[in-house]
Structure 1
Amino acid sequence: MMRRRTATLSCAALTLALGATACGGPVAAGGGQKELGGQTLTVAGVWSGAEQKNFQKVLDAFTEKTGAKTQFVSTGDNVSTVVGSKIEGGNAPDVVMVPQVGVLQQFAKNNWLKPLSDTTRKSVDANYATVWKSYGTVDGSLYGLYFKAAHKSTVWYSPAAFEQAGVKPPKTYEEMLTTGQAVSDSGLPAFAVAGEDGWTLTDWFENIYLSQAGPTMYDRLARHEVKWTDPTVVKALTTLGKLLSDKKLIAGGQKGALGTDFPGSVEKVFGPDPEAGMVYEGDFVAGIAKDQFGKKIGEEAAFFPFPAVTGGQAPVVSGGDAAVVLKDGKNQKAAMAFLEYLSTPEAAAVWAKAGGFLSPNKKLDLASYGDDTLRETAKSLINAGDSVRFDMSDQAPAAFGGTKGTGEWKLLQDFLRDPSNPAGTAAQLETAAAKAYRN
């Protein structure tokens, strides 16, 4: 999605990443002299646009290294439905890039997946924090390799808006609200909130909840070992509701937020006619700010870490896409080789150089990233180690945490519309969660 200065790779590094001919002429796709020549690997994932284009560079690198041709199939947001239909129709992809832990677990319990190879497991043990291995493991078997990560504890702001308001990036959640008031007083609403996309509201809740309740309670709620009616949930909703109910802080108020999708929220801060000073979302905000609106990352668009709520620690919530191998895929050898490749820092470097990407692979040289802001974000994610917590809604069954117009997405949109009854919203969330986890 983004990036300023382009990182360079040495000929030796390119040779490792792309094969022996990397520094000479290009290798024809599917070259028969390579190990997997003649095979075609089909990879399915949610990506489109710039993300799909950049992932294609990784696929092309794999082709040059192995000779396997590749084909990418975009699933849209309903990964489980699309993949299930393809399996039933005898047209299963070989590899799926799964964006939700809950969906990965569903695939494993449906007996759709093959455990990853010893080579991949050894790479994960050597190159990843333990938490990433645990999120890819179901019933003791490693099925998912987390290739692409997101840092979802970043608040993006306009330095010009902060300068006009005479404020600096806040250190606590309470300071963030005070800063927002100052930005609003200077003539620009504080936050653009993408309420039309329910997943952004789950991210708001998760950061607040992780900071207030702590990682142990976060893990228990993610597994539905505590009910959503727990006082910690009501407390987090109350904290979030205080922000959402303040029309001075939210661009367009609740109605305006509910009519704003995620790209639109970024445009409200970094577009040609700014309507807000800040937008909370993950590191991928920078890609839109740079690619669509020409902002210089670090100068015209900057971020501060999502600040700690009183009494808690600053949260580090992440998301990510895990590569899995389907049992019904027709090219098992190529699929396993592809995941072995994805587990290396060389593969991560290809997309890191292209931009719009963070890797949980701690062996990836930070110099591979194209600008200082990305390097800072990546370093924060890696340094968090096992204190990183995966997006809670992505760990839930899709019916609760990952479906438009239902479950957590819809109920938090309803809460944005009227944040006056946190306990009532918690009760509704529990009803929906209980049904989804039971099924």
Structure 2
Amino acid sequence: ARRWRPALQRRAVMGGSVSAAPPADAVAPPAEGATLWRYDPENGAPMAVRAAPSLGAEVVADVPLVSQGDVFWVLEELRGKDDVLFLKLADGSGWVFDRKPGVGTMCVRHTRTRVSFEEVLERVEKRSGAVAARARHHRLPMRLEDDYAVQANRILGTGASGSVVQGTSRHTGARVAVKHLDLRGASSVERDAIFRELELCLALDHPAIARLLDAYETHDGVSLVMECLDGSELFDRLMSKDGHFCEPEAADLVRQILGVVRYLHRQGVAHRDLKLENFLFEDGRCCFLKLIDFGLAGCCDSQGGGLTEAVGTLSYMAPEVLRQQGSYSINCDLWSVGVIAYVLVSGRMPFDGACEEQTMKNVADGKFNFASGAWSDVSDPCKDFIRSLLRVDPEDRLTADEALRHPIQVS
């Protein structure tokens, strides 16, 4: 809930008296994206800070604008996230924010980044224990470059939250994958996504998820060091197999995918970007898959729902995600598994249209078929399995547990 109250107000900071009359006119509230305050806490140079009224405190101020005992006039007030109040000072000196409404205006240095890192660690500690939370998370003066040689020109891939480059451990010589999540200029939504990815990388522990080795806080974000997988993407392996896998091979791969999806869902996590490109083989010789890139993952409520953002890759997105009408659940991932299964067996995308709009309509209608020649030798249980995942109503879709008990998987 948020609202602007343009009526002129007087605010006291822990007591004091009025020293000057207020200006005659109140000013209009800033639009989303406007500049609230200019200050660079590192070197004092000017910088633009975006207004994000719906997303929480965005003001950065290294020096208090008001002091204890001052009384000042407030032109505008906005209630933001977590009951933080934005207050526009009538003397034209800028904006401040009140972290504890009713207790006294707290005009202090904005420390949201530090608080958020600590909040992440506390949540991971509750979920997975202190070792998972603290042992791999490093703060300055510890630096990524002290432990790893990063080769910025060796790009291994590009994910939802940035590029991944190759690195080498200075201690063991082992190859690693490094991704830097940049907080500079990030909105609250973008920052929350970065912290969520860090939290999930620290908390999740499954043999089919690429493992986080270390995380380093920097002045402008966090660098994640992941195990480096030497095998190809599932997409590339598919292309090398004449465009499709035989049914038993596809069933084994889907079984591995369902195993990690079941684990995520039991942890209350929806990946929301399951696709061929986000599954890598551990090395070039084996058929063991690992899931990567949690940049679009979301944490669900206790019932497995409460997700709202329309994120993902169009060809794999579930109808309820595309509709953007209300919330959706972790079942969106099972639709993506259905798309993957369809592609592995046939070498074709089930919903691709002549244009993006047609693809979206096909997804919304759940319009696909088994008409191509690639399906002539595919068993009825396999087709039934795919139909059971590609159901428009998420409540009718198989869960991960149910999918693993389907005859095509059991056999």
Q: Which has the larger radius of gyration?
A: 2
The structure with more strand, counted as a fraction of residues: 2
RCO higher in structure (CA 8 A, sep ≥6): 1
Tell me if TM exceeds 0.5: no
The structure with more helix, counted as a fraction of residues: 1
Normalising by structure 1, report the TM-score: 0.26
